[in-house]
């Protein structure tokens, strides 16, 4: 697949986002006084897949092991910058106000970070002319042309893996142990920003992580709950956007996160 791309500076990719952040980026984001959320999903992992299963290897690298009842699972925790409307860093002229230190995902957009998701211009915020009138090669035979973008994608994947222990420690510190089933959505937490910042700073400094021993699946589908219980997982049925103690709990479809911006 060959794709050309030139950014038109329209700024669309810097609006209405759930922007995935690395742990250091989340700390910076919170210190600037902006909002973040935690998106949680878990993959049933009854046995280790073969080493040559590359999709499983990708999931393993960015998740931590845990259990739900007697079912082994792997938990994926994503810290996201959450905002409706313009990004708090976006200036009126549609330039990024923190361009030199903008998150990795902003530097990579519109390329894909996940190696198993092909780039589809129709699913990006960019206007048609950013693709149809472009002269700069972005993909050739499916491979990223720009060495710098390729290096940023590799850095993003490596950081995602390196952050796993800190995210496990973060969940433990915040008492988070409810999770959605992978591919069904995410359980979303909106912790108090100062508590989250403090927990993140401690989690980042932790030498060894402490992992919640038992997680509970929550789903708004009774069939999912029944299927999970049939394999001895702990699962309960909840309606969407339910408030639970101090947490804001809800479900987002998968496609909500992963959109980001990179306009200069």
In angstroms, give the least distance from the CB of 247 to ligand SF4. Answer: 25
Query: What six digits make up the tokens of 63?
Result: 């998740």
Contacting ligand SF4 within 15-44 (CB under 6 A): 19
Among 39, 45, 64, 109, binds ligand SF4 (CB under 6 A): 109
- Of the listed pieces 39-47, 87-95, 140-148, 191-199, which binds ligand SF4 according to CB under 6 A? 87-95
Residue number with CB closer to ligand SF4 (51 or 255): 255
Among 78, 80, 87, 164, binds ligand SF4 (CB under 6 A): 87
Sort 94 into a burial class: Cβ within 10 Å, 0-12 / 13-18 / 19+.
middle
In angstroms, give the least distance from the CB of 8 to ligand SF4. Answer: 4
In angstroms, give the least distance from the CB of 151 to ligand SF4. Answer: 18
Query: What six digits make up the tokens of 129?
Result: 């002319």
Helices and strands, number each (H, E), in the chain: 8, 14
- DSSP per-residue letters across 9-65: ---GGGEEEEEEE-HHHHHHHHHTT--EEEEEEEEE-SSPPPTT-HHHHHHHHT-EE
What stretches of 182-261 adopt beta strand conformation (E)?
186-189, 216-219, 235-237, 242-244, 247-249, 251-252
- Of the listed pieces 104-112, 113-121, 176-184, 195-203, which binds ligand SF4 according to CB under 6 A? 104-112
Residues in CB range of 158: below 8 A, 6 or more apart: none
Residue number with CB closer to ligand SF4 (63 or 262): 262
- Of the listed pieces 33-41, 90-98, 156-164, 185-193, which binds ligand SF4 according to CB under 6 A? 90-98
Q: How many residues bind ligand SF4 (CB under 6 A)?
A: 26
Residue number with CB closer to ligand SF4 (80 or 171): 80
């Amino acid at each position: 697949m060959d794709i050309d791309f030139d950014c038109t500076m329209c700024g669309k990719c810097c609006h209405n986002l759930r922007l995935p952040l690395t742990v250091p980026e989340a700390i910076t984001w919170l210190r600037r006084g902006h909002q973040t959320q935690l998106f949680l999903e878990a993959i049933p992992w009854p046995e280790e897949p073969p080493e040559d299963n590359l999709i499983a290897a990708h999931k393993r690298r960015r998740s931590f092991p845990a259990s739900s009842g007697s079912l082994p699972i792997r938990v994926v925790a994503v810290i996201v910058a959450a905002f409706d409307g313009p990004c708090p860093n976006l200036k009126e002229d549609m330039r990024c106000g923190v361009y030199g230190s903008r998150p990795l995902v902003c530097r990579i957009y519109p390329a894909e970070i996940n190696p198993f998701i092909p780039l589809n211009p129709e699913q990006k915020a960019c206007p048609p002319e950013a693709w149809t009138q472009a002269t700069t090669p972005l993909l050739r035979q499916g491979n990223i042309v720009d060495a710098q973008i390729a290096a940023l994608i590799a850095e993003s994947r490596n950081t995602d893996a390196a952050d796993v222990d800190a995210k496990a420690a973060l969940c433990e510190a915040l008492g988070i142990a409810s999770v959605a089933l992978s591919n069904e959505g995410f359980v979303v937490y909106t912790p108090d920003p100062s508590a989250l910042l403090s927990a993140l700073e401690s989690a980042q400094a932790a030498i060894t992580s402490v992992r919640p021993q038992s997680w509970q699946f929550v789903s708004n589908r009774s069939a999912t709950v029944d299927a999970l219980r049939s394999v001895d997982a702990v699962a309960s049925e909840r309606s969407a956007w339910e408030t639970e103690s101090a947490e804001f709990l809800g479900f987002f479809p998968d496609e909500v996160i992963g959109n980001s911006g990179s306009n200069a």
